[in-house]
Chains A and B, each alone.
Chain A
Amino acid sequence: MSLVSREPMPPTAGAAEYAAGPLEYFALLKPRVMSLVVFTAFAGLLVAPARIHPVIAFASLLAIAVGAGAAGALNMWWDADIDAVMSRTRNRPVPLGLVQPREALFFGLTLALIAVLTLAVTANMVAAGLLAFTIFFYAVIYTMWLKRSTPQNIVIGGAAGALPPVVGYAAATGSVTLDSLALFAIIFVWTPPHFWALALVKSGDYARAGVPMMPNVKGGDRTRLEILAYTLLLVAVALAPWPLGVGGRLYAALAIAAGLAMVHFAWRVYRIREGAEANRAAMRLFGFSIVYLFLLFAALVAEHGLGLIARFGL
């Protein structure tokens, strides 16, 4: 008796179910989002007072990356209908028909399980529990519930994107402290101006998809005011790691300089409200917000990773 089944494929299976290659499945993981998650989790891991073996750190970051990818796949499974009508997302594998929604669902669930169990084995249960909560929060609370029901969707949902440094910190220490919560707060407050800047430009897309983003529900003026308010709050929150001792002088200098630039871009968005120049201002804020977050966490990585605090007293 052969171990390999020669039975015909079930009649319910369509040829489209076998269309995707590994690259399409990799695209389900949202690689760009995953890279930011890995970077912020790495920063969380580095700023932790406990030292862990590099192999354990690598395995933990890998598990966090796969967990983030799993959340992305589950998001693409649920949102396939609205992804298909938005210009930014219509080329994703599920709306293109390269990956069937059911395949994306099981791919995401499988990866989520592997990621959480791997983190539990390599790091600890606190980190694994936090990763599981992050995936649940992004896939269920944000994607399935908040995204289509409230203009505060990305404000509350931003918690999912803000948790990776907390998970990284917990992987090293097995705990959640004020230090890691400060990093959480930065990404949490950064999320609204970042996404609303994009939503101002893509409001037509969101309207077509029926997603109640802030500009569609409250209008451009209210969105611009909230962007400015959140940016001012962000600049203050971003300074918190300095007095906490998580960030040194290099971090503080960067947080102030880049924070002033963020306020500049947010102010331009607030002032310029009409025409192509308004869209340009919004896209500049959107683009710079990514650089801003990268700079803050790169400063932490540099200070802790290169031992600048200990070596030079920075």
Chain B
Amino acid sequence: MTEPDRRDGIKLTPQQLRNRRLRNIAIGVCIALLAILFYVVTIVKLGPGVMRPEP
């Protein structure tokens, strides 16, 4: 008995392709928002002194 040829992989339907694209966009947006959040939190934690040069 021979194994089925799987070189073509699984064919996704147009709906599945669309959902995968939407998932990727959602993950991208979440990572971008997380980066912005961490940036703002860092600035807030460092305080206003972060913008002043040392005397």
Asked if B41 contacts A18 (CB within 8 A), the reply is: no
Asked if A21 contacts B19 (CB within 8 A), the reply is: yes
Residue of A nearest to B18 (CB): A21
The 8 Å CB contact of A18, one of B12, B25, B44, is B12
- Return 19 A-B CB contacts under 8 Å, by A number: A8-B6, A11-B6, A18-B10, A18-B16, A18-B19, A18-B20, A19-B16, A19-B19, A21-B18, A21-B19, A25-B23, A53-B44, A55-B41, A55-B44, A56-B45, A59-B41, A62-B37, A114-B34, A118-B34
Size category of the A interface is: 20 to 34
Complex interface: chain A residues within 8 A of B34 (CB): 114, 118
Known: A19-B16, A20-B19. A14 touches B44 (CB 8 A): no
The 8 Å CB contact of A56, one of B9, B15, B16, B41, is B41
Distance in Å: Cβ of A111 to nearest Cβ of chain B: 10
Complex interface: chain A residues within 8 A of B12 (CB): 15, 18
The 8 Å CB contact of A59, one of B8, B10, B13, B37, is B37
Interface of A is mostly: helix
A204 to B9: give the CA distance in the assembly, Å.
Answer: 44
A114 to B37: give the CA distance in the assembly, Å.
Answer: 13
Asked if A121 contacts B7 (CB within 8 A), the reply is: no
Complex interface: chain A residues within 8 A of B19 (CB): 18-21
Complex interface: chain A residues within 8 A of B10 (CB): 9, 13-15, 18
**Bitwise interface map of B from 22 to 43 toward A, beta carbon under 8 Å scored 1, else 0:** 1101100000001001101100
Distance in Å: Cβ of A232 to nearest Cβ of chain B: 44
Distance in Å: Cβ of A23 to nearest Cβ of chain B: 9
Complex interface: chain B residues within 8 A of A8 (CB): 6-9
Asked if A22 contacts B41 (CB within 8 A), the reply is: no
Q: Give me 15 other A-B pairs in contact (C-beta within 8 A), A21-B23, A121-B41 excluded.
A: A8-B9, A9-B10, A14-B10, A15-B10, A15-B12, A18-B16, A18-B19, A20-B19, A20-B23, A25-B26, A62-B37, A114-B34, A118-B34, A121-B38, A122-B41
Identify the interface centre among B10, B18, B45: most chain A CB within 10 Å of its CB: B10
Distance in Å: Cβ of B9 to nearest Cβ of chain A: 3
Residue of A nearest to B24 (CB): A22
Complex interface: chain A residues within 8 A of B6 (CB): 8, 11
Asked if A22 contacts B23 (CB within 8 A), the reply is: yes
The 8 Å CB contact of A55, one of B13, B23, B40, is B40
Distance in Å: Cβ of A28 to nearest Cβ of chain B: 13
The 8 Å CB contact of A15, one of B8, B13, B23, B25, is B13
Q: Which residues of chain A (271-305) have a CB below 8 Å from chain B? A: none
Complex interface: chain B residues within 8 A of A20 (CB): 19, 23
Complex interface: chain A residues within 8 A of B45 (CB): 56
Distance in Å: Cβ of B55 to nearest Cβ of chain A: 26
Distance in Å: Cβ of B17 to nearest Cβ of chain A: 8
The 8 Å CB contact of B44, one of A9, A13, A56, is A56
A118 to B38: give the CA distance in the assembly, Å.
Answer: 8
Complex interface: chain B residues within 8 A of A25 (CB): 23, 26
The 8 Å CB contact of B26, one of A11, A22, A114, A122, is A22
A121 to B12: give the CA distance in the assembly, Å.
Answer: 40
A118 to B15: give the CA distance in the assembly, Å.
Answer: 34
Residue of A nearest to B16 (CB): A18
